[in-house]
């Protein structure tokens, strides 16, 4: 009988509980014992690993439909977190402690549900997991993990952000004004682009695509309506300006005589009941993660590729790289961009008459 662990690390998103629940069910069906580690790697730095055996009594099915992580993700502000250890140069000490704690758990395998930061850190410090199998499941609202076409939490975030914009649209109309909505997403514009199209935004600015403020203003002035949504991804930059990109764009619009307000949906994008497509992705990724354990795989991540869930090596995920910004242009030019000029949704947005920047 195998003994496996689950841990959620990095920022939370809706869908984590779905993954945890389905891993628990699938593992129990295989006759394995499942343990949830609380607070991500923080839960492993204490003398005794902070973990609990998961059964349906502890984690009922209803939990699998809601946001947050039953296991919590750790406290970024605390001194004992992985990120702080990296910053303060105490990484060796920290990894030693993690390895020691993990040895106490006597786990055969660990499933780490994390974003690109956690996954690359896990690969860099892979020795910690050398005595067990390590399987990662990609989660993030940012959709910035290479080699997978979907991450857990993205669809729910799109739904949350779209609803936020839908709610604003009527008040925008009532006051003949524009709302500059700033989405999350770090350096990846996929969330802004997808929700922007779904919400019928008039303009969508994302880090990957260069834009021209004058063209944006012209576009808004020539629009059919005098109200609507201008979606700005948080990774967007404007040369010579610092501060929130939505605020910078809003000031430019105001200076051009366009009535507008900013709106920041913030962590609402990580909240909300998990949408069905995220629940289904969670079920599929949990199954593939458990199969990977059966097949003795290690240092792999589950991934959606061409409509199939498979596993890819963590080395490949990490070497695929991260988006990089070019500070010399408005917007960001990105290497390894998640949204490139040929992105079908970007092309569709352009065809719909949405201002998406200067792609040509
Ligand atoms: O990576 C997920 C994310 O929600 C980003 O989109 C956002 O920039 C960041 O995390 C917010 O982090 P925090 O929860 O620390 O404010």
Determine how many CB atoms are found less than 10 A away from the CB of residue 31.
8
Task: Go through the domains of the chain in sequence order and give each one's CATH number.
Answer: 3-152+274-320 (3.40.50.450), 157-270+341-351 (3.40.50.460)
Place of tokens 């200067």: 358
- pLDDT above 60 for 336: no
Q: How far is the CA of 337 from the centre of ligand 1 (A)?
A: 19
pLDDT-derived band at 328 (thresholds 50, 70, 90) equals low
* Cα separations in angstroms, 256 against 123, 217, 231, 243, 264: 49, 7, 18, 19, 22
Q: Is the CB of 185 under 6 A from ligand 1?
A: yes
Is 142 a known active-site residue?
Answer: yes
- Considering only residues 74 and 247, tell me which one the structure prediction assigns the higher pLDDT: 247
pLDDT of residue 90: 77
pTM of the model: 0.95
Rounded to whole angstroms, the Cα distance separating 211 from 238 reads: 9
Which sign, positive or negative, has the C-alpha torsion 169, 174, 178, 180?
negative
- pLDDT above 90 for 240: no
184 CA: nearest ligand 1 atom? 6
Alpha carbon 1 to its chain centroid, in Å, reads 34
Of the candidates 163, 198, 192, 194, the residue with the CA atom closest to the CA atom of residue 180: 192
298-302, 303-307, 341-345: least confident range: 341-345
Q: Is the CB of 248 under 6 A from ligand 1?
A: no
pLDDT-derived band at 238 (thresholds 50, 70, 90) equals confident
- pLDDT above 60 for 326: no
Which of 172-176's residues contact partners 24+ apart within 8 Å by CB, and which partners? 172/227, 172/228, 172/229, 173/225, 173/227, 175/227, 175/259, 176/226, 176/227, 176/259
Which of 142, 144, 155, 278 does the annotation list as catalytic? 142
Tell me the average pLDDT of the chain: 92
pLDDT in tens, 110-164: 999 999 999 999 999 999 999 999 999 999 999 999 999 999 999 999 999 999 9
Rounded to whole angstroms, the Cα distance separating 58 from 50 reads: 15
Q: Is the CB of 184 under 6 A from ligand 1?
A: yes
Rounded to whole angstroms, the Cα distance separating 156 from 184 reads: 13
Q: Is the CB of 252 under 6 A from ligand 1?
A: no
Of the candidates 358, 2, 20, 300, the residue with the CA atom closest to the CA atom of residue 148: 300
Q: How far is the CA of 360 from the centre of ligand 1 (A)?
A: 31
Q: Is the CB of 142 under 6 A from ligand 1?
A: yes
Q: How far is the CA of 33 from the centre of ligand 1 (A)?
A: 33
4-13, 169-178, 240-249, 332-341: least confident range: 332-341
């Amino acid at each position: 009988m195998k003994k496996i662990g689950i841990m959620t690390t990095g920022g939370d998103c809706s869908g984590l509980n779905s993954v945890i629940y389905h891993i628990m069910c699938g593992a129990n069906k295989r006759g394995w014992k499942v343990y949830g580690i609380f607070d991500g790697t923080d839960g492993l730095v204490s003398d005794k690993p902070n973990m609990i055996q998961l059964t349906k009594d502890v984690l009922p099915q209803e939990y699998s439909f809601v946001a947050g992580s039953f296991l919590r993700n750790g406290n970024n502000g605390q001194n004992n977190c992985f990120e702080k250890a990296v910053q303060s140069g105490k990484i060796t000490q920290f990894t030693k402690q993690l390895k020691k704690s993990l040895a106490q758990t006597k786990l055969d395998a660990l499933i780490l549900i994390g974003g690109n930061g956690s996954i690359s850190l896990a690969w860099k410090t892979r020795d910690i997991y050398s005595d067990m199998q390590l399987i990662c499941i990609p989660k993030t609202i940012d959709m910035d993990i290479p080699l997978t076409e979907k991450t857990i939490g993205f669809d729910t975030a799109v739904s949350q952000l779209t609803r936020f914009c839908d709610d604003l649209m009527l008040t925008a109309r009532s006051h003949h004004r524009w709302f500059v909505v700033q989405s999350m997403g770090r350096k990846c514009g996929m969330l802004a682009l997808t929700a922007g199209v779904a919400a019928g935004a008039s303009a969508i600015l994302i880090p990957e695509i260069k834009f021209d403020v004058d063209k944006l203003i012209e576009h808004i002035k020539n629009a059919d309506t005098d109200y609507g949504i201008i979606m700005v991804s948080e990774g967007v930059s404007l040369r010579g300006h610092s501060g929130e990109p939505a605020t910078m764009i809003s000031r430019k619009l105001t200076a051009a005589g366009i009535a507008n307000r900013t709106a920041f949906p913030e962590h609402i994008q990580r909240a909300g009941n998990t949408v069905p497509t995220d629940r289904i992705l969670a079920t599929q990724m949990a199954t593939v993660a458990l199969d990977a354990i059966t097949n003795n795989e290690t240092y792999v991540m589950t991934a959606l590729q061409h409509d199939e869930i498979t596993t890819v090596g963590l080395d490949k995920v990490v070497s695929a790289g991260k988006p990089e910004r070019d500070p010399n242009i408005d917007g960001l030019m990105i290497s390894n961009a998640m949204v490139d000029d040929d992105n079908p949704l970007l092309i569709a947005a352009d065809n719909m008459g949405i201002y998406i920047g200067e792609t040509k």
